[in-house]
Structure 1
Amino acid sequence: MSKKHIPFVNREISWLYFNERVLQEAADETVPLIERIKFLSIYSSNLEEFYRVRVSTLARLTNLNVKAKTLLGFNPKKTLNEIKNIVVKQEKKFDQLFQATLINGLAQNKIFILNDTQLNVSRGEFVINHFRDKILSNLVPIMIDMDKPFPELKDRNLYFFVKLSRTEIKLKERFALIEIPKTLSRFLVLPDTNELKFIILLEDIIKYCLDDIFYVFTYDTVEAFTIQLTRDSELDLDKTVSDKFIEDLKNSLEKRKKGKPMRLLYDSAMPLDMLNVLIAKLKIEAEYLLPGNRYHKFGDFIAFPNPGSKDLEYPPNVPLKVEGLHRTQSVFTKIAERDYLVNLPYQSYDYIILFLREAAIDPKVVEIQITLYRLAENSKVINALINAAKNGKSVSVLLELKARFDEQANIFWTSRLMEGGVKVNYGLTDYKVHSKICLIKRIEKEKPVYYANLATGNFNEKTAGLYCDHSLFTAKKQITKDLVKLFDTLNRKTVSKGFKHLIVSPLEMRSKLTNFINREIRVAKAGKPAYILLKVNSLADEDIIDKLYKASNAGVKIDLIVRGICCLVPGVKDFSENITAISIIDKFLEHARIYIFGTGDTRDMFLSSADLMSRNIEHRVEVGFPILDYEVKKEIQDILDIQLADNVKARIINGPNTNRYKKNRLAKKTRAQVEIYSYLKNKLK
């Protein structure tokens, strides 16, 4: 079977159809109104990052010669055009949703978003006073000199492009640029009137008060339209990992701010003469121009206020307890008896913090080793590690400085940890360390005993309240022995193989996953039930997809739960007739990675930090870990069975990328995230 001819969806196109599923949540009338606005925000933020990273990479690839493009397997220029066509259609849906559905929906709930032309006298006075007290001193216009270079636009910042003109006297028009500071609140709730609620955006406040900004000029017409530039954010770094690396990284982060323009989003109401000035001065190519509505930087709408009923938002889930674990009893004593699983965000992340806190103060604990990738802003994890070091424990942290868009934060955490007496390893030269592992060494009866926490998501208490992940506590020697070897390897800034129970990339993951798939192929060919379930964020590796097609043809039944990119095409004759795939988009972000091979009690089940993408398998240190405890394995399987039965929020992944909801009129409605919470709550009873 030639890889050139296997059904394979371009990863960028597949990602865009994932983002369309996010847009579907904004369109879903069963979703509370404020939550729908938040899904529009998530869609917008996702697309922004897509342009900063993926589109910028494709733009670089357009310079390749014909032979290189053949090896690549697709034409970058053609893909860029396809991306633009899809995005333009999606942006039209976005605008329709915001303008027609959500604005009207807010109005039905007596909430109104006012623009600068809709203010009465009293609200206008309120806005003017707010502008003069809180905003005006933050705004410094830059007057454009047409004979000089255009001012450097910051990546993703919001600007007003302004034209000043005079109607009666022949006065040469002038242009200006106003940067809208990120520090200013984007939304202002105006005083109520007869139980009606009013919200105005920062842009409209500024537009209403433009005369206060340009009063020194004699122009009588001031036109202002928002623009936002997205730049290439990929970093070109020397691969040397040393103390100098932090300085190199800081310099590269500065360069990121001035990367090549990838997308200019502009208010489509902007007159053509103004747009032509922008294009000429920015020297931006036509394919990177994207018309939009009056509001850009929609990611800020994640903080859209709710001045109305609580019914306009999802009710908060109270994090559940984990049966058997208690906050006033030793976590180590419990883990020594059996494994425990924390299912996030349904169950409390406090258990992971308590694990680290107990390690920090327990006299028997002598060493803590942990890998960190993304951290919360006020990280309790960091505080626990620093306190452990102050209490005389040996604390070693491998902090990945190359975590995209978290580089600056991780430089800060590196300094904090080192000041607190923690040994910090910046990472490896050629590989990102993306694993989520922690190992505690405790001296019991004069012998070392190890306790571990391994997870599918980051040691980040903020995202743990939003992401669906699994976090395992274990003291099983099969796992801890491998972890001792892995940390020893990482501390020597290298990678190794020969792990008996863990699946570790970059040296072993591909071969081990392939061996498991081959095993199921042999089982199927022997006429026995063969099964594979893979739950991941992304499935894009061509060799894995090719192998799954071969397994399907051999008779292996394969279930896929893929939130984002899925380059595999299910249901294709002679390739994937035994493969079904769904994507679940709901209140929480599905983030767990689970691999299952086989059926019944003999099946092998792994949780992992790795998606099935080439970068995870070949260019990162990832850890897949086996579930060896029967009760934990059953719990994970029960959760997966609920997800496979979802007929409310699950979409069917197929070749045409229709994002059709998985519906079954005969079955009862199953919304996985609601049912999983109920399932875990009932277990406590």
Structure 2
Amino acid sequence: MIQLSVLVTKEENMENIYMNRELSWLKFNERVLEEAENKEVPLCERMNFVSIYQSNLDEFFRVRVGSLQDQMLVNRKIRDNKTNMTSEEQIKAILKGVKKLNKRKDAAYMDVMDKVKEYGITLIDFTTAKSEEKKFLEQYFNHEIVPLSSPTIVGKRQPFPFLRNQEIYAVVVLQTRSGKERIGIIPCTNNMVERLIEIPGGQGRYILSENLILHYIGKVFKGYKVLGKSLIRVVRNADIDADALYDEDLDYREFMADLMKERKKLSPVRLDMSREIDGSVVESLCRYLDVSPERVFRSEAPLDLSFIFAIQDHLRMNPELFYERRVPQKSAAFRDGESIIKQIEQEDKLLSYPYESIRPFLRMLNEAAEDDNVISIKMTLYRLAKQSKIVEALCEAAENGKEVVVLVELRARFDEENNIRWSRMLEKAGCQIIYGLEGFKVHSKLCLITKKGKDGIEYITQIGTGNYNEKTARLYTDLSLMTANEQIGTDAAKVFQALTKGEAVEESEHLLVAPKCLQNRIIDMIDEEIEHRKNGEDAYIGLKLNSLTDKKIIDKLVEASKAGVHIDMIIRGISCLIPGVKGQTENIRIISIVGRFLEHSRIYIFGCGERRKYYISSADFMTRNTVKRVEVASPVYDPAIRARIQGIFDLMLSDNKKAREENAEGVYTLVKCDGEPVNSQEALYQEAYDKAAQRNAGQTPEGANEV
């Protein structure tokens, strides 16, 4: 395991407790890569983790490195508020760390593909192709690829072409008869040509189309001598500030659609190459693309790993190569044949994805769409499935005469086009569409059903930790609370009233609502624990987050640790706080769980015994979430659900198969498995299966809401 720099040496700061955000993210992606290297993970799943590592890295460069690059253009003196690094220093540290990790990525890929051969699948190149295969490939190139190719020779009359983001191109260095050098380029991404080309003979031998193009590229540029060649792939900046560019006289949705087109043209932040070629040619490419040479990465693995899913399809008959099949189960909290809304009115309900099915929530929406007593449905949408049953239910409700108010966040990065499409469909069905607040993304997962009751208005409120997306509900761990609590419903109504007016909630009694009343309330609850500890009482904080970067909260957690408050944190990704530093963070434990499912739920726990408080939330403790977005955290009041959440949290703390603990040096290592192995994700799925079996057998399991 490599150790990525902690950035500020102990000679500079004997009590260093901060980690740079970007390098902490690299450590997370390193943990993803470790799953690709892990021999205990099924072979095809290891392939997945190699691909996830690569796609994570692409997005990181597009968003985070792109942002740092923009900062450098504005002000090179801007510094990270935790490690005091400039943007330039951060980029240098990132590039150094990525080059080390990419060598491991290449090795993991080669190891996986070597083992895949044992199952009859071989990815060949021209060094391993048989003579008869070469004949077939040459014919295939001549008849299937050449007619569709669009070659370019860069020169005075033909400028360097625009290279699309993350698409593969074959580049060749050509020499004319007079000895002049030219650069030739052929796009390798073509929907008319299969990327994974099967060699006839039924022996499971394949070649990637870009390797075929690169090998025979000289045939396209006849009359030139080939001096060198390589596949290349450009990753472009995606950091674009919609609010800074928006003109209030424009239609916002159409403005965002145009903005997405502009994003595709932003400057490159990385250049990947498959081969070493002459340094002067690399310099020319960098000059044409406006990329510095240190942003050039050489890859032994294919530049785009998406083809592995086709290989996996050929291996489906080998179940041992995949994780055991798991299907979201019926929740034991709900009874068949009864109204979902009435069951929620009787007691609060909690769904835990992907272990339990999202169907009760969908049924709740469908019931609300048809219930004559339902007046309105209000909902915030951030990311949706490509085929969304949630949108269908909302459209049906509007067509049935309900007031349906939907906040569609068009600035959900990389989902903008999908959200624009859904917003048009919802509007056409008669829904009122709003687009959030100027300067603040709406990231909350909030649904409010308002209905006429015997004694007046009643609310059904749903608060989630993850998106309203049926697909990710099978892949991400999330929690969904459904309650008829009048106080929570009243607070949720205030949130929607503010949103429809283009305002942020100024205060709320039960919900924690960013940007104005979440960070301060969190700090107040940490302060309460500090006071209890100072008074000689037990004090505790438990947090499950995706990321921790908010310096105000970090510094308050350090203060709590110094006061003797015990703090457990389960942080999947970025953590800018280093635990276990004597005299500073020695009462803080941080683990990260990277496994089969993406850990995505957020849980806040404060206090001990009878005074313990529980919240679930859409918000990480990142400044962008706590003070720059609309986020919602909901208290959990139902005793059985509180016990269930505590059980989930404790189980994850006991994980000794997929949990990695961070030490005082900022290094993550797998938790030592001394006793019985505990894989928390598999344990939670098995529990869901066991409860479903009891339910199907007509039994009512005791403690149905407990772990």
Q: TM-score under structure 2 normalisation?
A: 0.90
Q: Is the 8 A contact 2:170 2:185 kept in 1?
A: yes
1:175 paired residue among 159, 180, 183: 183
1:45 paired residue among 37, 50, 55: 55
Q: Is the 8 A contact 1:42 1:299 kept in 2?
A: no
Q: Which residue of 1 aligns with 2:343?
A: 334
1:473 aligns with 2:482: yes
Bigger Cα displacement from structure 2, 252-261 vs 381-390: 252-261
Bigger Cα displacement from structure 2, 380-389 vs 118-127: 118-127
* Alpha-carbon separation, structure 1, partners of 2:288 and 2:569: 48
1:531 paired residue among 516, 530, 540: 540
Opposite residue 9 of structure 1, the aligned amino acid is M
Q: CA deviation at 1:250?
A: 2.6
Q: CA deviation at 1:391?
A: 1.5
1:107 paired residue among 110, 114, 117: 117
* Alpha-carbon separation, structure 1, partners of 2:441 and 2:363: 28
* Structure 2 CA distance for partners of 1:107 and 1:397, relative to 1, 3 Å: same
Opposite residue 586 of structure 2, the aligned amino acid is E
2:264 paired residue among 257, 262, 267: 257
1:576 paired residue among 571, 577, 585: 585
* Alpha-carbon separation, structure 1, partners of 2:16 and 2:526: 18
3-state SS of paired residue (1:107): helix
* Alpha-carbon separation, structure 2, partners of 1:450 and 1:134: 61
Q: Which residue of 2 aligns with 1:651?
A: 660
* Alpha-carbon separation, structure 2, partners of 1:146 and 1:265: 26
* Structure 2 CA distance for partners of 1:126 and 1:143, relative to 1, 3 Å: same
Structure 1 residues without counterparts, runs of 5 or longer = none
Q: Is the 8 A contact 1:396 1:423 kept in 2?
A: yes
* Alpha-carbon separation, structure 1, partners of 2:286 and 2:684: 51
Q: Which residue of 1 aligns with 2:446?
A: 437
Q: Is the 8 A contact 1:149 1:281 kept in 2?
A: no
Q: Which residue of 1 aligns with 2:42?
A: 32
Bigger Cα displacement from structure 2, 456-465 vs 656-665: 656-665
Q: Which residue of 1 aligns with 2:512?
A: 503
Bigger Cα displacement from structure 2, 346-355 vs 434-443: 346-355
Opposite residue 186 of structure 2, the aligned amino acid is I
Opposite residue 98 of structure 1, the aligned amino acid is Y
* Structure 2 CA distance for partners of 1:132 and 1:65, relative to 1, 3 Å: closer
Q: CA deviation at 1:466?
A: 0.7
Q: CA deviation at 1:63?
A: 4.1
* Structure 2 CA distance for partners of 1:140 and 1:272, relative to 1, 3 Å: same
* Structure 2 CA distance for partners of 1:477 and 1:120, relative to 1, 3 Å: same
Opposite residue 334 of structure 1, the aligned amino acid is Q
Q: Which residue of 1 aligns with 2:90?
A: 79
3-state SS of paired residue (1:660): strand
Q: Which residue of 1 aligns with 2:231?
A: 226
Q: Which residue of 1 aligns with 2:10?
A: none
3-state SS of paired residue (2:591): strand
* Structure 2 CA distance for partners of 1:494 and 1:227, relative to 1, 3 Å: same
* Structure 2 CA distance for partners of 1:6 and 1:656, relative to 1, 3 Å: closer
Q: Is the 8 A contact 2:580 2:589 kept in 1?
A: yes
Q: Which residue of 1 aligns with 2:601?
A: 592
Bigger Cα displacement from structure 2, 531-540 vs 57-66: 57-66
Q: Which residue of 2 aligns with 1:91?
A: 102
- 1:2-48 CA-partner distances (Å, limit 9, x unpaired): x9976211100100111100000000001111111111111111111
Bigger Cα displacement from structure 2, 253-262 vs 67-76: 67-76
Q: Is the 8 A contact 1:44 1:299 kept in 2?
A: no
Q: Is the 8 A contact 2:477 2:597 kept in 1?
A: yes
* Structure 2 CA distance for partners of 1:590 and 1:302, relative to 1, 3 Å: farther
Q: Which residue of 1 aligns with 2:154?
A: 144
Opposite residue 180 of structure 1, the aligned amino acid is C
1:160 aligns with 2:167: no
1:462 aligns with 2:471: yes
Q: Is the 8 A contact 1:159 1:226 kept in 2?
A: yes
Q: CA deviation at 1:588?
A: 0.4
3-state SS of paired residue (1:532): strand
3-state SS of paired residue (1:561): strand
After superposition, residues 233-312 of structure 1 pair within 5 angstroms as: 233-237=238-242, 238-239=245-246, 244-293=251-300, 295-299=302-306, 301=308, 304-308=311-315, 309-312=318-321
* Alpha-carbon separation, structure 1, partners of 2:76 and 2:323: 52
* Alpha-carbon separation, structure 2, partners of 1:539 and 1:572: 17
Q: CA deviation at 1:576?
A: 0.6
3-state SS of paired residue (1:395): strand
Q: Is the 8 A contact 1:306 1:312 kept in 2?
A: no
3-state SS of paired residue (1:482): helix
**Share of identical aligned residues, percent?**
37
* Structure 2 CA distance for partners of 1:635 and 1:316, relative to 1, 3 Å: same
How many matched pairs? 675
3-state SS of paired residue (1:305): helix
Q: Which residue of 2 aligns with 1:405?
A: 414
- 1:187-227 CA-partner distances (Å, limit 9, x unpaired): 3444565xx5323222123335546645xx33465854211
* Structure 2 CA distance for partners of 1:324 and 1:613, relative to 1, 3 Å: closer
* Alpha-carbon separation, structure 1, partners of 2:433 and 2:44: 42
3-state SS of paired residue (2:596): coil
Q: CA deviation at 1:162?
A: 2.3
- 1:417-439 CA-partner distances (Å, limit 9, x unpaired): 11111110011112100000111
* Alpha-carbon separation, structure 2, partners of 1:33 and 1:91: 20
Q: Is the 8 A contact 1:240 1:429 kept in 2?
A: no
Bigger Cα displacement from structure 2, 448-457 vs 55-64: 55-64
3-state SS of paired residue (1:424): strand
Q: Which residue of 2 aligns with 1:12?
A: 22
- 1:130-153 CA-partner distances (Å, limit 9, x unpaired): 656765554322222256531121
Q: Which residue of 2 aligns with 1:610?
A: 619
Q: TM-score under structure 1 normalisation?
A: 0.93
* Alpha-carbon separation, structure 2, partners of 1:595 and 1:610: 10
Q: CA deviation at 1:535?
A: 0.4
* Alpha-carbon separation, structure 1, partners of 2:55 and 2:49: 10
Q: CA deviation at 1:490?
A: 0.8
* Alpha-carbon separation, structure 1, partners of 2:141 and 2:346: 62
Opposite residue 537 of structure 2, the aligned amino acid is K
After superposition, residues 290-439 of structure 1 pair within 5 angstroms as: 290-293=297-300, 295-299=302-306, 301=308, 304-308=311-315, 309-326=318-335, 328-439=337-448
* Alpha-carbon separation, structure 1, partners of 2:390 and 2:67: 34
* Structure 2 CA distance for partners of 1:300 and 1:633, relative to 1, 3 Å: farther
Q: Is the 8 A contact 1:552 1:558 kept in 2?
A: yes
Report the RMSD for the aligned CA atoms in angstroms: 2.4
Q: Is the 8 A contact 1:451 1:480 kept in 2?
A: yes
* Alpha-carbon separation, structure 2, partners of 1:303 and 1:652: 35
Q: Which residue of 2 aligns with 1:57?
A: 67
* Alpha-carbon separation, structure 2, partners of 1:70 and 1:465: 36
Bigger Cα displacement from structure 2, 592-601 vs 250-259: 250-259
3-state SS of paired residue (1:115): coil
* Alpha-carbon separation, structure 1, partners of 2:174 and 2:319: 44
1:21 paired residue among 27, 31, 53: 31
3-state SS of paired residue (2:570): strand
Q: CA deviation at 1:310?
A: 2.2
Opposite residue 671 of structure 2, the aligned amino acid is K
Opposite residue 677 of structure 1, the aligned amino acid is Y
* Alpha-carbon separation, structure 1, partners of 2:382 and 2:535: 44
* Alpha-carbon separation, structure 1, partners of 2:298 and 2:410: 36
* Structure 2 CA distance for partners of 1:538 and 1:71, relative to 1, 3 Å: closer
Q: Which residue of 2 aligns with 1:661?
A: 670
Q: Is the 8 A contact 1:190 1:198 kept in 2?
A: yes
3-state SS of paired residue (1:622): strand
Q: Is the 8 A contact 2:42 2:322 kept in 1?
A: yes
Q: Which residue of 2 aligns with 1:564?
A: 573
3-state SS of paired residue (1:203): helix
